[in-house]
């Protein structure tokens, strides 16, 4: 599909209404605030193709697993993000005719996602039957200041007639998940209530007893005057609506304000939900739409101050990167350690679950560099809180000790059910350990290790200890039957990445234990006791570190993705006729598996994570070997390649890889954006700019920068919060300027030169 969105620095803009693109736009123009979010559905009736989707963070449903052939150990349920009460509904009836863009003649349609200020706006003209024309302007946002509040301003102006407006403002809780495995509805009714101006609907999930209450108030205005109209209420099961009638006056805008307060028993007493939501609604109504919108703009201004990336000379790239940052910020705000970053955020329900290894491997760096410490720390705490479930998961799979974190989860329990992934893609455990390292390395907050980190690290280490097997005739440890990050290989022996991230975990755990022993012997002793950590275990870890087998080809100087990789027919992707691509749509699974083609960075993922361990020549040999065979059919692949390409000075390749992620959803590159946006891979795009083009790393408590700028750009700049200092790094073709926007001084290394940058100071160096 040809890109259809207008390029703009700060907004996503769709001009003209094309029903065929509506579901894609519903994904792209989604709004959210970390607590809730929704697809860019129309407020009024729409009978065309649409995925009505409204999601509350942390409210999920254990949907009965669907498989063709059951394997022992599969989870019974897949925890799914739950499509919830639709609170935006405004049925607009004009002179007896339902406004429906699938029926009306639509013109001057503009849909805009204003990312700078955080709202969705839509304007259009519609010609109804008998030639009646109206103009509509609908503005909507979910507040990032008051997380439970959503607000709509809906202006209707009749252009060539006087008439009557009948608007039914409603809450509809009779909602079904599109991805329900057995076509079931997941919500049961609890209560509905109606008063003159307000209605409330409370529903609860059929399992797990999540309660969700939405309360709304609707007001009609004309010429800044509140209209004194009496609403007529109607209730159905899981539904409440209030219908208002008002005259429509030619060329005068009638404005409908709708406020909703959406609360769940995750945050409030189950019995008090209606009261709480009504009280919350009071505050919002009192402030009114315009003030709420101003607060929203001001809060987003702060978000951008912390996390913006500016690209000059390439408006398309500018729009792309801002869209990614916007989505990340509206998906996860880090206030609530029970939440995580779902693969589609609030933009769709595909893939269910909320947490993949994407969080630690790709998302964490974004939040580390753009948010206060407590935000990424909450991502770690999330895993810490799931440790017991991860222990149970390991037990369920037959391990006597240790913890195996799930591949896909909502509440710590495994949801996924493909054996080659669920049971074998265990490298995720390493990423979770690496996340701890990454957090401590970035923030310098070593207290986390003694407070929480060591327990997670030790339990993951124990898992690796049991998962490897010693091969006496070769005097090595091996890891059999795994799937590495490259999911285009399944059930392989000795995936280099997995073997290495396993021993790395053991090394880091031993390092952390030593660190605790040195710095806080009492705490160390407590942990040793609590974890019942034996001397022999630690010795075993050392033995595994010493004797782990890593497949490699010494002649070519490359690490081998797994045993037997060189027995494949090795071909570059460029030799494949393009009709074969993407492989996952054209080749049967066995053909993909026995080919050399790589879905996403695997050995290279290891070189990215453990970058400091390998010299540049090693990285180069491996990059040169694997990159040509990589098809990047995971949206998480190009960013790692882009970052390594930057380090290796492969400028063209770096930019090519960057382009593959930057506008993935905006240009619907994978032809699946209607299902929702690729939220987690958006963090990869941010990484490409900051860690790739910016060359940012943290080492020895220093911020290291090795920027280079793609030839196509005039300049780019990014913000980094580093140990309290907010630094703006501006890179153009000649020089790099770093501005410290705070009082806090910072040690920085640019292109190997060590710089001390005082508070509120600026420094410029040439490339």
Strand 702-705, strand 746-750: pairing: parallel
- Shortest reach from residue 625's CB to its own copies, in Å: 15
Asked whether 132 and 105 are in contact (CB, 8 A), the reply is no
Backbone angles phi, psi at 751, to 5 degrees: 40, 45
562 is in an annotated binding site: no
Q: Name the DSSP letter for residue 688.
A: I
Q: What angle do CA 660, 664, 669 make, to 5 degrees?
A: 90
DSSP-assigned states of every residue in 57-79: EEEEEEEEP--SS--TT--SEEE
Nearer to its own copies, 280 or 494 (CB): 494
Q: How far is the CB of 249 from its own copies (least distance, A)?
A: 54
Residues 6+ apart with CB under 8 A from 417: 65, 67, 71, 74, 75, 78
CB under 8 Å to 305, separation ≥6 — which residues? Answer: 719, 726, 741
Fill in the DSSP letter of residue 244: E
> 357 labelled as ligand-binding?
yes
Decide whether 473 or 574 has the Cβ nearer to its own copies. 473
Rounded least distance, CB 567 to its own copies, Å: 5
In the structure encoding, which two tokens stand for residue 529, read together?
Answer: 């006791």
- Taking the complex as a whole, the smallest distance from the CB of residue 600 to its own copies amounts, in Å, to 17
Cis before 582 (ω within 30) = yes
- Give the ranges where 20-156 is alpha helix by DSSP (H): 22-28
155 assigned to a ligand binding site:
no
CA neighbor of 149 nearest in space, from 327, 278, 6: 278
**C-beta separation of 703 from 747 below 8 A:** yes
Q: Please report how close the Cβ of residue 74 comes to its own copies at its closest, in angstroms.
A: 8
Of 30, 9, 2, 13, the closest CA to residue 674 belongs to 30
Catalytic residues: 487
Closest to 461 measured CA to CA, from 488, 443, 437:
437
Quote the tokens at residue 634: 């995971």
- 559: β partners: 552
For residue 120, count other CB atoms closer than 10 A to its CB: 20
> Could you tell me which residues come within 8 angstroms of residue 3 by beta carbon, excluding any fewer than 6 positions away?
663, 666, 667, 668
CA separation for the pair 30, 118 (Å, rounded): 11
Radius of gyration for the chain, computed over Cα atoms and rounded to the nearest angstrom: 27
**Minimal distance, residue 267 CB to its own copies, in Å:** 33
270/466 with CB nearer its own copies:
466
**Smallest separation (angstroms) from its own copies to the CB of 456:** 22
Site of interaction with its own copies (CB under 8 A):
65-69, 71-73, 396-398, 417-420, 423-424, 469-471, 473-474, 478, 480-481, 490-491, 493, 563-564, 566-569, 584-591, 593-594
Q: How far is the CB of 571 from its own copies (least distance, A)?
A: 11
- The least CB distance from residue 532 to its own copies, in Å, is 24
Distance of alpha carbon 584 from its chain centroid, rounded?
A: 23
What are the CA-CA distances from residue 250 to residues 133, 158, 159, 219, 254 (Å)? 10, 5, 6, 20, 10
The span from the CA of 735 to the CA of 237, in Å, is 64
Minimum distance from residue 200 beta carbon to its own copies (Å): 37
Residue 245 annotated in ligand binding: no
For the residues of 362-410, what is the DSSP string, one character each?
IIHHHHHHHS-THHHHHHHHHHHHTHHHHHHHHHHTT-SSS----SSBS
Distance CA 557, CA 564 (A): 16
Cα 179 to chain centroid, rounded: 19
Sign of the Cα torsion 207, 210, 211, 215 reads negative
Rounded Cα–Cα distance for residues 11 and 32 (Å): 16
Q: How many CB atoms lie within 10 A of CB 714?
A: 11
526 or 556: CB nearest its own copies: 556
The binding site comprises 357-358, 599-600
Sequence ranges of the binding site for substrate? 357-358, 599-600
């Amino acid at each position: 599909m040809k890109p259809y969105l207008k390029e703009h620095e700060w907004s996503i803009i769709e001009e003209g209404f094309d029903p065929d693109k509506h579901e894609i736009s519903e994904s792209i123009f989604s709004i959210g605030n970390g607590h809730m979010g929704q697809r860019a559905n129309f407020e009024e009736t729409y009978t065309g193709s649409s995925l009505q989707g409204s999601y509350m963070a942390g409210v999920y449903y254990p949907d009965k697993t669907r498989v063709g052939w059951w394997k022992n150990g599969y989870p019974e349920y897949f925890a799914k993000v739950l499509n919830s009460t639709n609170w935006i509904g405004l049925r607009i009836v004009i002179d007896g005719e339902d406004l429906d863009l699938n029926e009306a003649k639509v013109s001057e349609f503009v849909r805009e996602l204003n990312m700078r200020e955080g709202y969705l706006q839509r304007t259009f003209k519609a010609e109804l039957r008998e030639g009646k024309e109206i103009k509509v302007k609908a503005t909507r946002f979910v507040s990032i200041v008051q997380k439970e509040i959503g607000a709509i301003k809906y202006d209707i102006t009749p252009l060539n007639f006087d008439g009557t407006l009948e608007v039914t403002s409603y809450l509809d809780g009779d909602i079904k998940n599109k991805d329900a495995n057995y076509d079931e509805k997941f919500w049961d009714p609890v209560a509905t209530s109606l008063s003159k101006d307000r209605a409330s609907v409370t529903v609860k999930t059929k399992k797990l007893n999540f309660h969700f209450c939405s309360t709304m108030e609707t007001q009609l205005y004309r010429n800044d005057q509140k209209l004194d109209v009496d609403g007529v209420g109607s209730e159905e099961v899981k539904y409440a609506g209030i219908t208002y009638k008002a005259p429509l006056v030619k060329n005068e805008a009638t404005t409908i304000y709708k406020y909703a307060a959406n609360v769940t028993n995750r945050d409030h007493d189950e019995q008090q939900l209606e009261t709480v939501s009504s009280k919350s609604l009071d505050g919002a109504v009192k402030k009114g739409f315009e003030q709420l919108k101003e607060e929203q703009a001001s809060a987003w201004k702060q978000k951008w101050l912390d996390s913006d990336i500016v690209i000059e000379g390439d408006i398309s790239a500018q729009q792309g990167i801002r869209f990614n940052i916007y989505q990340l910020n509206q998906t996860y705000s880090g206030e609530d350690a029970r939440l995580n970053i779902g693969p589609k955020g609030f933009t769709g329900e595909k893939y269910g679950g909320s947490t993949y290894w994407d969080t630690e491997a790709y998302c964490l760096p974004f939040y580390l560099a753009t948010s206060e410490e407590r935000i990424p720390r909450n991502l770690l705490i999330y895993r810490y809180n799931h440790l017991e479930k991860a222990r149970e998961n390991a037990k369920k799979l037959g391990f006597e000790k240790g913890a195996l974190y799930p591949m896909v989860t909502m509440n710590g329990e495994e949801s996924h059910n493909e054996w080659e992934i669920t049971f074998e893609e265990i490298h995720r455990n390493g990423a979770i350990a690496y996340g701890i390292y990454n957090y401590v390395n970035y923030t310098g907050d070593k207290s986390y290790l003694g407070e929480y980190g060591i327990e997670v690290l030790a339990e993951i280490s124990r898992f690796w200890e049991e998962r490897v097997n010693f091969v006496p005739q070769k005097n090595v440890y091996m890891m059999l039957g795994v799937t590495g990050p490259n999911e285009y290989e399944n059930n392989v022996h000795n995936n280099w990445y997995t073997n290495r991230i396993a021993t790395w975990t053991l090394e880091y755990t031993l390092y952390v234990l030593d660190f605790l022993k040195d710095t806080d012997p009492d705490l160390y002793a407590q942990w040793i006791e609590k974890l019942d950590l034996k001397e022999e275990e630690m010795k075993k870890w050392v033995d595994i570190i010493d004797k782990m087998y890593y497949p490699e080809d010494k002649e070519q100087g490359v690490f081998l993705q797994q045993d037997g990789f060189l027995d494949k027919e090795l071909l570059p992707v460029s030799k494949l006729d393009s009709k074969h691509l993407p492989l996952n749509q054209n080749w049967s699974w066995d053909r993909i598996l026995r080919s050399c083609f790589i879905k996403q960075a695997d050995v290279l993922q290891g070189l990215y994570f453990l970058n400091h361990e390998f010299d540049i020549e090693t990285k180069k040999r491996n990059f040169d070997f694997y990159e040509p065979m990589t098809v990047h059919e995971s949206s998480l692949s190009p960013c790692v390649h882009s970052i390594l390409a930057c380090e290796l000075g492969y400028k063209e390749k770096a930019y090519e890889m960057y382009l593959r992620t930057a506008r993935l959803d905006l240009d619907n590159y994978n032809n699946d954006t209607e299902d929702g946006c690729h939220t987690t891979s958006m963090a990869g795009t941010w990484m490409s700019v900051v860690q790739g083009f910016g060359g940012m790393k943290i080492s020895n408590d220093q911020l290291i920068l090795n920027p280079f700028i793609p030839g196509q750009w005039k300049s780019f700049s990014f913000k980094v919060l580093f140990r309290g200092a907010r630094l703006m790094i501006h890179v153009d073709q000649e020089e790099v300027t770093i501005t410290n926007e705070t009082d806090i001084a910072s040690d920085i290394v640019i292109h190997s030169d060590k710089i001390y940058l005082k508070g509120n100071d600026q420094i410029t160096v040439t490339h």
